[in-house]
Each structure stands twice: as C-alpha cells, then as structure tokens.
Amino acid sequence: MKRYKSLERLTVTESMQTKWSSLKNHKSKRFFTWIFLLMLSLFCVIFNSCKKDDQYGYIDDYYMNQSTLLLNVGEHQGIYVTSSSSMPSGDGTSWDWKSSNPSVAILQDGCCLSDKYVYAVGKGTATITCTISNENGMVLKTLSCEVTVSNVNQNQNTVTIKGKVTDCKNNPVSNVKVTIELSNGSNYTSVSTNSTGDYTVQIQSNTPVIVSIKSKDYNNYSPEISYSISGKAGNITVTQNFSIPCINGTQENPYIIRTATDLDNMRNHLSAYHKLGNDIDLKSYLAPGGAGYAKWGADGWLPIGRYSSELQFTGSLDGAGYKITGLWMTPSGLSPAYIGLFGYLNNAKVSNLGLEIASGGITGANRVGGLAGWIDNNSSITNCYVIGGNVYGTFMDVGGLVGYVGAGSSITNCYATVNVIGSTAAGGIVGGIGDNKSNVSNCYATGEVSAYQTAGGIAGYAENNTISNCVALNPSISTNTSNGSLASARIVSGRRGTLSFINNWARNDMKVNSWGSPPLIKGSTQCDGGDCAAIPTISWWTTSAPNGPGWSSTIWYFTNGQLPKLR
C-alpha cells in the first residue's frame, strides 16, 4: 500500500515537473518574441530617421559622380550628386556647395541645385564639398571631390584681378574681404587682403563681374565700394585698387546707418553726420527679446537728443530716400516731454527721410511729434514724411511731424498723414511755432486733429512766423474750448504777433468743429486758407499763386487721383 502511495507521489511530481518545463519553454519563447519585435521597431525608427521618406520614396544614399578631377587652368567640368533612388525635388532639401580654395577652383550654377560647374582658375588643389540637409537643418550627407589644377594652358583665357586696399591715410588695410560677384548679383568668390593690403584672384575671361568691399566686412559704417569689370579675352591682368574712406561722421564721410542698432548708436555721436544705407524696421528691436526692449521695456523707443545741452542732437541725418518703420513710444514718468524719433534738435538737419509709426503710436505730454519733439536754433527738416499710427500728447505742442518749432527753424517739403490728439496747440504738421521767425512751407497734412483748444490743420499755434504754400487736407479739426480765439482753424488756430499767411489752402469739405461754431476766415492769405478739393488734380498742385500752391515736379511725384509723394 505504501509502495503505491509512493509511486503515486512520484507520478504527480513528474507530471508537475513536465508542466513547469513546458511553461518555462513557453515563457522563453514569448520573451524572445518580445525582444525580436522591440529590436525590429527600433530598427525601423532609426532607419526612418536617417533616410528621407517622401512622395518619391526612400533615398538610400547620396553619391557624387566624381571623387577627383584633373583640370588645366581655363578648363571646366560639371559634377553632380545623385542617389540610389529618385532624387527629391522641392521638398526643402538644401545643397550647400563650397570650394576650399577659390584661387584654384570656383563654382558656377548648373541646371539644378544638385549640380555645379567647376572652373579651374589657378594652379594648385582645392576640395569641392556638397553638404545636403533636410528641411529641419539636419545634415544628411557631406560629399567631396578633390580638384587638382596641375597645368597652366596658355591657350585658355583667364583674367587676374589684383590690387591694394588702403584707408584714407594711404595705410594698407589687411584681412579685409574683397568680394567678386557675377554682374547678376549671384555669389562668385571672395579673397582677403594680406598683411600689405594686397589681394589677387583669377576669373574666367569674358565674364563681367563686380568687385566690391562690403560695409559688413569692414566697419559697418563705410559705404559699399564697388567697381564693374567687363569681360576681357586673353590671359591678362586687371589692377583694381580700393581706398576706404575714414568714416568719422563728417559731411564728406558720414556714418552709414543700416540697422536698428546703428540708429540707436546715433545718440553716441550727437554732433556727427549720418546717412541711412537702407530701410530700417524697429519692430523686432522694440519687441520683447529685442535689444531695445531690453533697455527701455514697455516705454518703447528712447528719443535721440534730449533737452539738456550736452544731450541735444546737433548733427545731421540724411535719410537718402529710405524709411524707418515700426516706431512706437509710450514713455512712463510724470509729463514726459520732447518725444519723437528725435527729442531735441539744436541747429541740426534731418532730410529725405520717411517715418512709419507702428499701431501703438507715439504718446507723451509736452512737445510731442512723429519725427521730433522740438527743433530749435536754425534746425531744419526737409523732404520728410510721417505716416501710420496716432501721435498723442496729454498737454501742449503736439504735431504729426514736429511738436514745437523754435528759433529760426524751418519745415519744408514735408507731409504727415497721422491723426493728432492733444490738449493745447495740436496741428497736422506742427503743434506750436514760437516767437522766432520760423517758417513752414510746401507741406500738407491729412490726419484728423483734435484738442481742447487751438487745433489747426497745419499748426495749432503760431507767433511771428511765416506759413506758405501749405495745404490742409484734414477731414476734421475740432476743439472744445468756449474761447473763440482759441477755437479750431483750417490752417492755424492760435495766433499772435505778426503772422504771414502766404498762399495756403484747405479742403472745402473739412469739418471744423468749435464751441459756438465761429465763422471761418477763408482766403489763401488767411488763417483758414483758400478752398481746394479733397484730392486736388495734378495741374492744381503745380499751378502757382493765386490759383494753386505751385509745387515743383522735381521734388514731388504727382499722380491723378492720389496725393503727392516725395521723389
């Protein structure tokens, strides 16, 4: 009986071991299955991240058709990149081609981004590389071709361009880049001057090029210096020297302003001559994260030139027909004054400049204008305009172009299209003109003007000045005062002393809103000007007094149905 029980226990034990072994085998199989699937998934992820997959299918790899090239000077040969499957096109792939030694081999465009022509221009070796990246900037492949130019074939034609770069004192300028571009502006090659200021580069003959020194490659203030060299046949040498001006902010060599930073730095050269080199947008500079915002925050732009004598702008800015955009100002503090692109001009000059105020506008208290808060002591603003957002002042002397004009200063050939809101002395061009024998001439305004008292289409207030050949095209002028002598006027509202109104005009449908509705004093020699259309004809603008303002077509560009623009 014990034997049977023992045998029974043995049979049960063996059966359990058999089942356990089977279970272990099953788990082992499942474990290895999981491992296999995990590795397969990982392989797919790596494969897809390394290879480009688009509508054209997978690209297994890129290849360059040549790994080495042997050329004579003057010869050229095409090289290109292909792949093991269809080449993608227009999918964001970038192709960055470079020559390590442009004095030996240079590149010119082929028919596609993936191919180039290699031109041998001098004896030596060079490495041509092509770096291929996807739309996210990840480098997919870098390929290279070694070029050896071992022989100068005198039957081939090249042009050697050489020269010396010196400054205004005839000192050699070393390590400055000389750029050689095709006449159509595409990149060609560049070379740096050596310790003695000399440079040498070879190009193919009969290839017209522009040889230049860019401001960004020198000091950021010099103007660009460039020379055109026409194509010439044969193995010849052309000498092209450069003399870089000593940029010292003089009238002959003004600082060239190309960036928002350059414009900001004008406050460090208040008595110097400056000139715009291109349009400048202040939007990013004044936005959170910009250099201007880091300094001034929510106040916006800090005016160039302040009332303190040592901070006044006494220099010159020639806009050269360019414009500044994205300007806004909301200065904090009690009664901020002298607000505009410039704060205070003393015997200074601003000319040929456009200004576009951002939607945030310009806000201050006293002497607030788009271009300048106060111009004084024979300062002049000529051939300038202000467009865009509103100009707002909580107290006095608020103008679309200038807040206040003092001491023999002038505004000539300008216009403003901005709305102006002030408390006292608000005008479409200038807020107030002091007792100073200043003058405003050949200007027009189109913005709405409103104030508690003394609001005018051209000026809010004037004393002992001359206003001539100006045109007020404002849709409305309004004040709230009960004092009739300080009410609204189409040309100038508040008036004192000896004023000369010469040949001024205002749109005949302008709404002039004043307390008590005093009658208008019309006439081209009166404070409300003579009547004209809201958009006068070309012939009217160029007609002289007494039938028109008599503006010159050499300064203004006229188009029927539109308002004049500065040339």
Query: For 30-48, how does the pLDDT look when each residue is reduced to its tens digit (9 = 90+)?
Result: 555 556 555 655 555 444 4
- pLDDT tens for each residue of 501-550: 999 999 999 999 887 678 899 999 999 999 999 999 999 999 999 999 99
43 domain residue, yes or no: no
Q: Mark whether 178 and 271 lie in a shared domain.
A: no
Helix, coil or strand: residue 313: strand
Look at residues 220, 244, 268 and tell me which one is the last residue of a structural domain: 244
Q: Mark whether 418 and 507 lie in a shared domain.
A: yes
Q: Mark whether 334 and 222 lie in a shared domain.
A: no
Q: Mark whether 371 and 417 lie in a shared domain.
A: yes
Q: Mark whether 260 and 380 lie in a shared domain.
A: yes
Residues 6 or more apart in contact with residue 89 via CB below 8 angstroms:
56
| Reported pTM | 0.66
Pairing of strands 189-192, 158-167: unpaired
Query: Contact 403/512 with Cβ under 8 angstroms?
Result: no
25 domain residue, yes or no: no
Q: How confident is the model at residue 352 (pLDDT cuts 50, 70, 90)?
A: very high
7 domain residue, yes or no: no
Q: What is the mean pLDDT of residues 347-373?
A: 97
Q: Mark whether 389 and 479 lie in a shared domain.
A: yes
Q: How confident is the model at residue 245 (pLDDT cuts 50, 70, 90)?
A: confident
Residues 6 or more apart in contact with residue 82 via CB below 8 angstroms:
62, 63, 65, 114
348 domain residue, yes or no: yes
- pLDDT tens for each residue of 264-289: 999 999 999 999 999 999 999 999 99
Q: Mark whether 188 and 213 lie in a shared domain.
A: yes
Look at residues 112, 128, 151 and tell me which one is the last residue of a structural domain: 151
Given a cut of 60, is residue 24 above it in pLDDT?
A: no
**Structure tokens given for 65:** 């058709």
- pLDDT tens for each residue of 101-119: 888 888 877 777 888 888 8
Q: What is the mean pLDDT of residues 174-201?
A: 80
Specify the number of domains making up the chain: 3
Q: Mark whether 522 and 469 lie in a shared domain.
A: yes
**Structure tokens given for 84:** 């093991």
What CA–CA distance (Å, rounded) separates 492 from 485? 11
Q: Which residues pair with 276 in a beta bridge?
A: 257
| pLDDT for res 57 | 39
Q: Mark whether 174 and 304 lie in a shared domain.
A: no
| pLDDT for res 85 | 53
From residue 285, alpha-carbon distances to 264, 269, 293, 473 in Å are 10, 20, 7, 34
Q: Which domain holds residue 367?
A: 255-566
Q: Mark whether 111 and 142 lie in a shared domain.
A: yes
Given a cut of 60, is residue 25 above it in pLDDT?
A: no
26 domain residue, yes or no: no
Give the highest mean pLDDT range of 1-5, 113-117, 233-237, 483-487.
113-117
515 domain residue, yes or no: yes
What CA–CA distance (Å, rounded) separates 436 from 421? 25
Q: Mark whether 287 and 220 lie in a shared domain.
A: no
Look at residues 190, 216, 244 and tell me which one is the last residue of a structural domain: 244
Helix, coil or strand: residue 99: strand
* Of 124-128, 209-213, 535-539, the least confident: 209-213
| pLDDT for res 2 | 42
**More confident site: 23 or 147:** 147
28 domain residue, yes or no: no
The amino acid that residue 206 corresponds to is N
Q: Mark whether 141 and 178 lie in a shared domain.
A: no
Given a cut of 60, is residue 202 above it in pLDDT?
A: yes
